[in-house]
A = this chain, B = another copy of it.
Amino acid sequence: MYGVVMSTQERLIETTRELLWERGYVGTSPKAILQRAGVGQGSMYHHFAGKSDLALTAIRRTGEEMRATVDRLLGADGSAYDRIAAYLLRERDVLRGCPVGRLTMDPDVIASDELRGPVDDTIAYVKGRLADIVQEGVDSGEFAAHLVPREIAAAVVATVQGGYVLARASGDTDAFDAGVRGLLSLLKPSPVPTA
């Protein structure tokens, strides 16, 4: 019995994560969640206070997954440049955009400190991890001494987030790749090999 209850709850959370990624918070109705999850309204309100509560759980989980991915990429061996390149070049579902970043364009998420919280925390975490690596690279002489780690980290995360915008505008992942390669060519003052 407990298993069945968990399964419904899980289905609601995973469905909400998908819909938030595809359509955002404003574009996701409770009805759409219930329909796609194949769950009745009573079940949803048994587990969650409402759409906002369910979305908060979904956003937190998406944020945790992103932090785990970033830890894996940035915790690997290699130079500071190599680890930043691994983050920038990691395989992505580019045309779907970022499941965390896209929520910043959602007026109802931004209007709610509670919903914005895990979005802010996740992006701040990624920036912080990247800034530490840039600092390592500056300390080791790999990067120029005048670079400010938190500024470079912000530029790296912004290039990824903005890369999704460029790719979705053109309907082509090349636009994302071009921005990433441009930033890498600036970070490492030598030609970046063609992917």
- Residues of chain A at the chain B interface (Cβ within 8 Å): 22-24, 26-27, 97-98, 101-102, 104-108, 110, 116, 119-120, 123-124, 127, 144, 146-148, 150-166, 168-171, 175-176, 178-183, 185-187, 189-191
28 A-B residue pairings within 8 Å (CB atoms): A22-B107, A23-B26, A24-B106, A27-B108, A101-B162, A104-B168, A105-B105, A105-B106, A105-B165, A105-B168, A110-B168, A116-B171, A124-B169, A147-B182, A148-B185, A151-B182, A151-B185, A152-B182, A154-B163, A154-B178, A155-B179, A155-B182, A157-B166, A158-B159, A158-B165, A162-B162, A183-B183, A183-B186
Cβ contact within 8 Å between A105 and B110: no
Report if A144-B189 is in contact (Cβ < 8 Å); known contacts: A101-B169, A157-B166.
yes
This protein's copies in its complex: 2
Cβ contact within 8 Å between B120 and A171: yes
Cβ contact within 8 Å between B158 and A166: yes
What's the least CB distance linking A56 to chain B, in Å?
Answer: 15
Cβ contact within 8 Å between A104 and B157: no
Residues of chain B within 8 A (CB-CB) of A154 are 163, 166, 175, 178-179, 182
Cβ contact within 8 Å between A181 and B151: yes
Residues of chain B within 8 A (CB-CB) of A107 are 22-24, 27
Report if A163-B158 is in contact (Cβ < 8 Å); known contacts: A178-B150, A186-B152.
yes
**Out of B146, B170, B179, which one reaches A158, CB within 8 Å?**
B179
Q: Nearest residue in B to A160 (C-beta to C-beta)? A: B162
Q: Nearest residue in B to A95 (C-beta to C-beta)? A: B110
Cβ contact within 8 Å between B157 and A162: yes
Residues of chain B within 8 A (CB-CB) of A151 are 178-179, 181-182, 185
Cβ contact within 8 Å between A104 and B169: yes
In the assembled complex, the Cα of A150 lies from the Cα of B179 at a distance in Å of 8
Residues of chain B within 8 A (CB-CB) of A153 are 182
